Amino acid sequence: MITLALMADTSDTSTPAPNRADRPVYVIGGGPGGLAVAYALRARGVRAVVLERSERVGDSWRRHYDRLRLHTTRRLSALPGLPMPRRFGRWVARDDVVRYLEKYAEHHRLEIVTGVEVSRVERTPDGTGWLLHATGGRELTGAAVVVATGFNHTPRVPDWPGRDSYGGELLHASEYRGPKPFAGRDVLVVGIGNTGAEIAVDLVEGGASRVRLAVRTPPHIVRRSTAGWPAQYSGVLVRRLPVRLVDRLCRVQARVALPDLSDRGLPLPGSGLYSRVLEGAIPVQDVGLIDAVRKGTVEIVAAVEGFGDGEVVLADGSRIGPDAVVAATGYTRGLEGLVGGLGVLDARGRPVVHGGRTPGLRPASTSPASRTRSAGTSANWPWTRNA
């Protein structure tokens, strides 16, 4: 989840603002982050209004592929104020996540307005609040704004040379639902994040005739659990240890727990696991990829460089001709148009500050749910699907 909180500077009281206390806090996004923030604000007596662009909460989760399950345990994946039901099992399925989010909104009686998309946020002319420009020409004024639109906002497909003239089937991973349309076909999956790895395995199990996985930078791979011990728990335990120490421990663990896949195209990365995490590279949790690569049912190939003459051109100079290409190449946060003029984003479109230093309201970064997911970062956030 990604949240960005904005609050007007109220230190200047020379300008009367009699309606300031009547303005709600607007939360943009009805996913897990937005719902948790709305609950935290209500628990503190602050009116929070969630603005969701779709017609239902948790819309992004409804559009994920069918086999998706959380990589974090049910107990540590719940939002504040409502545990996940035991019947969901340890690794919660996509549809159960959606049911939980719907129940969460109902249980806490959150104030949610659907079908409203905010296109731009700016300061009010008097500087005492925020003006939200929304669909239908709406202009909403809030005391503060929390942007909780998530990491996976806008699908990103690289501008590969020849992409527009490619005649084969090319789709982003956000459009992938299941393997049935690809049964008996040769498929190339581009990107070995958690999404790409899971889709590759799903295609193999679903009957694709050949599955190749294009890899630019070999990732760290961890078992989702070892002897019943979830990788998430290890992430929580080591988060306060020195980075170099954690890197060494993880390297030893990988050599003991994982087979050497170097001859299959997946050598152990040179940099440490925790160092990579701090750079934003989430490790791949194994849900069948290791066995598939070892058996050769998922073939590792070089990164995609472009398209030409109906074929895919790879970084090693080779060309292949799959029937379909699934681009698991990630997303952009899509924040530039929304808050790009407020000086709160860096050159890559990310919030310039994080955690307790976030400008504005603190519940977005200090709620129990937020702390839980931060603690589990080295194992993979439950609400984030990194390509």
pLDDT tens-digit series, residues 262-310:
999 999 999 999 999 998 889 999 999 999 999 999 999 999 999 999 9
The percentage of residues in the chain with a pLDDT greater than 70, rounded to a whole number, is 86
Query: 20 exposed, middle or buried (CB, 10 Å; 0-12, 13-18, 19+)?
Result: middle
> What is the rounded distance in angstroms from the CA atom of residue 131 to the CA atom of residue 144?
9
pLDDT tens-digit series, residues 315-361:
999 999 999 999 999 998 889 999 998 988 988 888 887 665 555 43
Q: Specify the 3-state DSSP secondary structure of 229.
A: strand
Element (H, E) at 331: strand 331-332
**What is the predicted pLDDT for the residue at 333?**
87
**What is the predicted pLDDT for the residue at 217?**
94
Q: What angle do CA 247, 332, 41 make, to 5 degrees?
A: 85
pLDDT tens-digit series, residues 116-133:
999 999 999 999 999 999
Q: What angle do CA 319, 202, 156 make, to 5 degrees?
A: 60
Of the candidates 208, 210, 146, 151, the one whose C-alpha atom is nearest the C-alpha of residue 176 is 208
Q: Which residue has the tokens 């003006």?
A: 131
Enumerate long-range contacts of 66-69, CB under 8 Å, 24 or more apart. 66/94, 66/177, 66/178, 67/178, 67/198, 67/202, 68/93, 68/94, 68/198, 68/385, 69/93, 69/94, 69/287
Domains of the chain: 4-9+20-154+331-379 (3.50.50.60), 157-327 (3.50.50.60)
Distance set, CA 111 to CA 38, 44, 106, 203 (Å): 8, 15, 9, 40
> What is the rounded distance in angstroms from the CA atom of residue 8 to the CA atom of residue 144?
7
Q: Which of 101-105, 161-165, 376-380 has the highest mean pLDDT?
A: 101-105
Q: Which residue has the tokens 């994982």?
A: 258
Residue 285 is classified by DSSP as E
pLDDT tens-digit series, residues 249-260:
999 999 999 999
**What is the predicted pLDDT for the residue at 89?**
97
pLDDT tens-digit series, residues 22-33:
899 999 999 999
Q: Phi and psi at residue 25, in whole multiples of 5°?
A: -90, 125
Task: Name the residue type at position 310.
Answer: G
Q: Identify how many contiguous H helices and E strands the chain contains and give both numbers.
A: 12, 22
What's the pLDDT band for 363 if we cut at 50, 70, 90? very low
What's the pLDDT band for 206 if we cut at 50, 70, 90? very high
Enumerate long-range contacts of 291-294, CB under 8 Å, 24 or more apart. 292/200, 292/201, 292/204, 292/211, 293/213, 293/261, 293/264, 293/265, 293/266, 294/259, 294/261, 294/264
Of the candidates 148, 137, 147, 141, the one whose C-alpha atom is nearest the C-alpha of residue 127 is 141
Q: Which residue has the tokens 């080295």?
A: 378
Q: Which residue has the tokens 């194994």?
A: 286
Pair 33, 373: CB distance under 8 Å: no
Mean pLDDT of 196-204: 98
What's the pLDDT band for 8 if we cut at 50, 70, 90? low
Distance of CA 201 to the CA centre of its chain: 20
- Which range has the worst mean pLDDT, 39-53, 142-156, 170-184? 142-156
What's the pLDDT band for 95 if we cut at 50, 70, 90? very high
CA dihedral of 287, 289, 292, 297, whole degrees rounded to 10: 120
Q: Which residue has the tokens 């049964």?
A: 183
Mean pLDDT of 54-65: 93
The percentage of residues in the chain with a pLDDT greater than 90, rounded to a whole number, is 74
Task: Name the residue type at position 304.
Answer: V
> What is the rounded distance in angstroms from the CA atom of residue 32 to the CA atom of residue 367?
12
- Whole-prediction pTM value? 0.85
**What is the predicted pLDDT for the residue at 132?**
97
> What is the rounded distance in angstroms from the CA atom of residue 299 to the CA atom of residue 188?
9
Pair 360, 60: CB distance under 8 Å: no
> What is the rounded distance in angstroms from the CA atom of residue 138 to the CA atom of residue 246?
50
Q: Tell me the two tokens of residue 344.
A: 């709160």
> What is the rounded distance in angstroms from the CA atom of residue 361 to the CA atom of residue 24?
13
**What is the predicted pLDDT for the residue at 151?**
80
**What is the predicted pLDDT for the residue at 3?**
58
